Structure 1
Amino acid sequence: MRIELTGVFVHDQAQALAFYTDVLGFQTRHDIPLGQDRWLTVVSPEDPDGPELLLEPSHHPAVKPYRDALMADGIPLAQFAVDDVDTEHQRLTEAGVTFTVPPTDVGEAWIAVFDDTCGNLIQIISVKP
């Protein structure tokens, strides 16, 4: 068993695609029109054949209260691994990304949490050797 696809709900797929590619640095893997929405996935340029992140439309009525509760409690919807949290924090801050949790030593790893501008908090993590 392996993870090939996971997703985040986004309120605007075009805005999400711009953020996840232009700011975070992911690459578009699939962009297939499906009525008013798209089957829209991105991948890491470091592993272009690896797991895909689906930028899922957030139209379902259960999504808003779910995401609102996570945001209110400061809980990230997804977590991405980075080589160095401090370096990534600096790069993303310079790109205008808003962090809700600055780089923080949590014992076995360093973390930071940012707002993806699409309705989600995202955590970055670098595990200590």
Structure 2
Amino acid sequence: MLTNINITGIYVLDQDEALDFYVGKLGLEVGSDVDMGFMRWLTIHLPGDPDHQLLLEVPGGSPAHSDATAAQLRDLVTKGAMGAVVIFNTDDCQKLYDDLSAQGVEFTDKPTKQPYGIDCAFRDPFGNHIRATQRVPGPIEVTDEDIARWSGK
């Protein structure tokens, strides 16, 4: 029986640049950094949470992808077409937005009230879509303006 998710992969185009972003700007920590010969096994995690790691994987860095497939994956990452690769929780979405904006992080959505709390979205240097959510206790009050915004009207 499965008990939890230990490692989730994120495709990046440059692992050193990914470290600068995820560790240097977002404040995550390195879990593993191992040269396996055919690939570099590089994981990161939130401070104090080594049981839930992100694998920063370069497309084509393992035997799993042909050169053509690796090129297609790199193109999809760059276009931001991989969907939300990770959704973090935060205690203060506005503060996170302010702090990361000051460091030059590109946001695609400012902190916005949603049915589940307040969230924002940003990209890593490669185009990956990342969200951060501030959970709000209790029921969320939804206004007609919120509904119109969510529906695009």
TM superposition shift of 1:46: 3.4
Task: Calculate the aligned-residue CA RMSD, in Å.
Answer: 1.9
**Percent of residue pairs identical:** 33
Is the contact between residue 6 and residue 52 of structure 2 (CA under 8 Å) also seen in structure 1? yes
TM-score (norm 2): 0.74
Is the contact between residue 59 and residue 74 of structure 2 (CA under 8 Å) also seen in structure 1? yes
What is the match of residue 33 of structure 1? 35
Change (3 A) 1:46 1:83: farther
What is the match of residue 120 of structure 1? 128
What is the match of residue 50 of structure 1? 51
Q: Name segments (4+ residues, structure 1) moved above 4 Å.
A: none
Q: Distance in 2 between matches of 1:16 and 1:8?
A: 10
TM superposition shift of 1:72: 5.5
Structure 1: any 5+ residue segments left out of the alignment?
Answer: none
- The answer on 1:64 being equivalent to 2:74 is yes
Structure 2: any 5+ residue segments left out of the alignment?
Answer: 61-69, 138-153
Is the contact between residue 78 and residue 126 of structure 2 (CA under 8 Å) also seen in structure 1? no
Alignment coverage as a number of residue pairs: 126
**2:24 aligned to 22, 25, 33, which one?**
22
**2:113 aligned to 105, 117, 125, which one?**
105
**Per residue, is there more strand in 1 or in 2?**
1
The Cα offsets for residues 64-107 of structure 1, whole Å up to 9 and x where unpaired, read as 354356x269x422211111111111110111101011111112
TM-score (norm 1): 0.87
Higher RCO (C-alpha 8 Å, min separation 6): 1
Give the secondary structure class of the aligned counterpart of 2:84.
Answer: coil
